[in-house]
Structure formats: C-alpha cells, structure tokens
Structure 1
Amino acid sequence: MTLRILEPGPLSLIQDLGRFGYQNIGVSPGGPMDEHAFSWANRLLDNPLNDPQIEINLGSFHCEFQLPTTIAITGANMSAELNGVAIQPWQSYSIQTGDQLSFKGARSGVRAYLAVRGGLDIPEILGSCATVVRDQLGGLHRDGKQLCAGDCLHYPVSKPVLTKQVPDEFIPEYCQDITLEVIPGYQYEWFGRQERQRFFNSVYCVTPQIDRMGYRLSGEAIQCQRQNLVSEGIAPGAIQIPADGQPIILMRDRQTMGGYPKIGCVTAGSLNKLAQCQPGGTIRFVKKDLYKAEAGYRVEKQFFCGISHSA
C-alpha cells in the first residue's frame, strides 16, 4: 500500500492546507503554494479538501505505485508520463500495481500537485503534515525534510472510479506576464501619493531570489515615510517595502513577524498565480476592493468545501 519515490526532483514536499493556530509561537503555516491547483486535485478524487498531497517543484520527479488506486495531477505542465505515455495535468487517472509516473521539467508554471484517492497517510505534528523546511516541521518523518529517493508513502487501496477532468474555464494559464490584485493595507497612507502611483504604474521583474518564504521583485524603488517599525504579525501575500524600495511578497512559509512597512496585500487568487511564475516574469499591480476580494474567496472556498462535506 505504498507510493515509492524513485527520483524526488529538486524539491518535492508533502503539503496539506497548512498548520494554523501557532503563529503566536513563531510557527509558519506552510501549505500549498498554489491552493487552487491543490484544491482541484482533491476534488477530482472526491477527497476531503485537506487530504495531503505531494507538491512537486520544477519537475524531475519519478515514482512507482505498488497497489491500485486513482490519482490526480494539477498545476504546472511538467510533461508528465504514466508508464512512458504522455498524460495531461488537471485530470485523474486509474493506477494499477507497478505503474510508474514521471515528470520532466516545467514547461509552464513552477509547481505541480499529485493527489491519491483517499489521501496519503502522513503523520501530523501540531495538527498538520504540511512541510515547512525552515521550521523543521511536517513531511513524511515530521522533521520538515523534503522527499528523498526510496521514501515510501502509504495510501489506501481503492477500486477504479470514473476518471474526471477539470473544466477548461477553471484551468489557469500560467503566464510570465501577470497582473496581481492588491488590497491596500493599513500602512498604505504611509506611502506618499507619488510613491503609490509609482507602485501601481510600474512593471516589476521576478528575481531569482524566490522561495516558499517570499518573492523578491526588482523595478522602480518605492519609498516609505517610515522605516523603523516595531515587528508585527504578517499575513500571506503581504507586500513588504524594505529600505532599498524593492517589493518583497510574502508566501506560505513566511516568517510570522516582520518590521518592514507594507503597502498592501496580494489577494489569495493572485498569490496562486504568483506561485506559478518563474524568475524573469513581469508583474503589474492593480487595486482590489477588500470586500470584493473577500466575496470572491468565499465563493471559491464554498465550492471546494461542498465536496468534502458530501464525500
């Protein structure tokens, strides 16, 4: 009853939706970088929304299934092959004993998700199995380490089920030129009018300095009237403006406290898009009303949560 890792790729991690309720003691939530793709993988299999999956970063992943099941793959197109035959993401597939699944390099996007019907059997720590390498928490051995060749992940045997495909209108196009929606934050007024205009009228580049903690951008420098702040709690998607004026967008494994001023916060949907943008991509920002952003997020969460209640 195992999925055996033959080749893990540069960074393959066990993720569920995250570890919540512990930021007050410095524990990062973690969770999938692209929550939209993660949620669709579980939905394709009628899994509970929080069932653990493998987040595959950049590709070069190879595994073998030792008992029958059904799988789903979503997210980046990494030229996946099942027993040497090309398959497409955003679909589910029937698996037989001995079947092998492989991913090559990412053709578009950065991260792919592999889900197994019934979920992977991964031990939890602090209520979650999400892997946060920096915190040394989560993952197969609860120590925050990425998956390695030879690792065996248990899953329940399941009979073949009808395979499914995500409708085209829900499959995002992973581009290298993206627009991110920003909710102005409570420190927004600390930035002068000219600085705010510069921020929304400029084009920024995604630098190679990106990871699960944050994405550093380069472009027109933005200056804040205040810099020496007391550290405070920070949210996913927060846009920090350090002294050099180059924005940093905080991601899933962000630190729980920060002292840089924040011009705003990227919406959840835009954060998913950014997580699939490779270095060299270009970023533009547009304002988003808080209540409209919240309404859109609630609609998506209700859509995915409905299947977990009925499964």
Structure 2
Amino acid sequence: MSLEVLQPGLMSLLQDRGRFGRQRIGLTTGGPLDPEAHALCNRLLGNDGNATVVEVSFGGLVVKATEDTLLCVTGAPMPLRINDQPRDMWRVHRVAAGDEIALDFAESGCRAYLGVAGGLRVPPRFGSTATVPREKLGGLNGGKLQPGDVLPCAAVSSGTLRYLPRSYWPHYARDITLRVIPGYQQAHFSRLQQRRFFSHAYTVGERCDRMGYRLEGPAIECDIEGILSEGICFGAIQIPADGQPIVLLNDRQTIGGYPKIGAALSLDVARLAQLTPGGRVHFAAITPHAAHNALHLADHRLRNLPLPEYRV
C-alpha cells in the first residue's frame, strides 16, 4: 500500500498545509508553495484539505504503485504519463498495482502536486508532515525524496472520479504583479524610493528557493541599514544593503533584521513561486482592506469551482 520512488526528480518534497503555531520555538511554516493547486489536488480526490501530497519542483518524478489507488496531479503543466501513456492533469485517475507514474519537466511554471486518495500516510512532526529541508524536519527524513523511498498510502479500489474543466485551469505567466501591503519600515523609505519600487519591473534572479525569491532591478535605498531582529510574516519584502528586494516564502527564517518595505499578498506570492529565473515581477500597493477582500473572493471562487464527475 504505497508509492515507490523510482526517480525523485530535481526537488520533490512531501507537504501538507504547513506547520502553524511553532514560530515561537523557531520553526517556520513550510507547506505548499502553491496552496491553490495543493487544495484542488485534495478536493478532486475527496481528501481532507490537510492531506499530504508530493510537491514536485521542475519535474522528473517517477513513482511505481504497489497497490490500486486513485491519483491526481495539479499545478504547473508537467506532462503526466501512466505506463508511458499521456494522461490529463487536474483529473483523478485510477492506477493499479505495478503501474508506473511519471511527471516530465514543466512546460511553464515549476511546481506541481501529486496526491492519492486518502493522502500519503506519513507521521507528523510538530503537528505537520510539511518538509523543510533547512530545518531537516518533516516528510520521510527531513529532506527531499530519494530513489527507493516508499510513500505509504491506503489501498483504494473504487471512488469518485472528478476533474477540473480546462477553462478553469490556472495560467502560469512569466510576467506577474505582486500586490503589496505597505508596512513594517515603510516610513524609512523616501517617497522617491517607494515610487521607484512600485514603478519598475524586477527580474527573478538565480538565487531563488523555498526560503525566498531574490529579485534584480533598480536598487532601493533605506535611511536605516538594519533593525533589531523581529518576526517575519509570509510574503515580507526585505531590502538588504544591496537594495535588491527579497520576497520571503514558506521556508523563511522566523526573525530577521533587514528593513522591509511591506508584505506581498499571499495569493500573488503563490504565482511568484511558480516563476523560474528570468521571470518578471511588478509591484502594486494595496490597502489591508483590499487585501482582505481579495482573499475572501479567492476563497469563494475556490470553494465554488465546478468539479464534475466522470466515468471510464
């Protein structure tokens, strides 16, 4: 009752929603870089929203089923093959014992999610199975999947087959806008520096990972070089000494001493995490009220997406 990892791909991690309420002891959140794709993978399978799936970065994952189950892949377009036959993403498929499931490399975006009915059965650590390699915590061994790893899951011989209509599939663009709630040390950035930040495009640099995305573009100056270390929220935008923004993601450190011009809306950070080096990023200021509205509207849309059933 498992999936056996034949090829782990470039970076495949086990993730549930994340590890919440532990930052006070220095543990970061972790969890899926694209929460929407993670949530829809579990909804299509009829799983609990916190069920553990495999987050596949860039592609190259190959697994073998040792038992009958239901399987679904969502997120960035990574050609899915079962026994070398092409299959649609965003659709639940039956797989039998001995079937080989492969994800090729992403055509756009870079994060996809592979889940099975009932979720992967991995013991939680500090309340979560989310893998944070920097902390060597979560997953099977605190790190990325390796050849020969066995991912326990329930045997499922029947269940509801659902799919997300193609017109509702997300589009993973190479040019995005991050909505930013100004705050933190905003007052220490002059009006000129703030205008420069919000009026120029930035490029995703080579130094981007689950901790944060380093961007390249016009340097932003702050009238202070550093601050006393303080708690850091998801999406916080640090401005280090070189003036190049860093958008902090799921595996960020829990405290830091760089000035921060604000925090990016979580909905948009998920799109940022689908960019590869060379992608372009624009910033737009919004109010906390507008951010709350955007989150409520996105949640309503997600809950009401049509997930028709089909037969084979």
Normalised to the residue count of structure 1, the TM-score between the two structures is 0.94
Match of 1:59 in 2: 59
Q: Distance in 1 between matches of 2:208 and 2:152?
A: 31
Task: Classify the secondary structure of the residue corresponding to 2:187.
Answer: helix
Residues 1:98 and 2:70 aligned together? no
Match of 1:15 in 2: 15
Task: Classify the secondary structure of the residue corresponding to 2:112.
Answer: strand
Match of 2:310 in 1: none
1:228, distance to aligned residue in structure 2 (A): 2.3
Q: Distance in 2 between matches of 1:209 and 1:60?
A: 21
1:288, distance to aligned residue in structure 2 (A): 2.0
Residues 1:6 and 2:10 aligned together? no
Whichever residue aligns with residue 97 of structure 1, its letter is: A
Conserved in 2, the CA contact under 8 Å of 1:43 and 1:304? no
Q: Distance in 1 between matches of 2:7 and 2:226?
A: 46
Give ranges in structure 1 of 5+ residues lacking alignment: none
Aligned pairs for 1:124-203 (under 5 A) are 124-141=124-141, 144-168=142-166, 170-203=168-201
Give per-residue Cα distances to partners, 1:215-240, cap 9 Å, x unaligned.
Answer: 00000001111222000000111000
Which of 262, 282, 285 is equivalent to 1:284? 282
Which of 257, 260, 265 is equivalent to 1:259? 257
Q: Distance in 1 between matches of 2:135 and 2:304?
A: 32
1:254, distance to aligned residue in structure 2 (A): 0.2
1:291, distance to aligned residue in structure 2 (A): 1.8
Give ranges in structure 2 of 5+ residues lacking alignment: 306-312
Aligned residues: 305
1:189, distance to aligned residue in structure 2 (A): 2.0
Task: Identify which range, 87-96 or 275-284, moves more after superposition.
Answer: 87-96
Q: Distance in 2 between matches of 1:118 and 1:292?
A: 36
1:95, distance to aligned residue in structure 2 (A): 1.2
Q: Distance in 2 between matches of 1:272 and 1:286?
A: 16
Q: Distance in 1 between matches of 2:93 and 2:217?
A: 43
Give per-residue Cα distances to partners, 1:75-99, cap 9 Å, x unaligned.
Answer: 1111111111112222211111211
Conserved in 2, the CA contact under 8 Å of 1:49 and 1:305? no
Q: Distance in 2 between matches of 1:14 and 1:162?
A: 24
Q: CA RMSD in A?
A: 1.6
1:175, distance to aligned residue in structure 2 (A): 1.2
Distance 1:287 1:170, change over 3 A: farther
Aligned pairs for 1:110-121 (under 5 A) are 110-121=110-121
Q: Distance in 2 between matches of 1:133 and 1:160?
A: 35
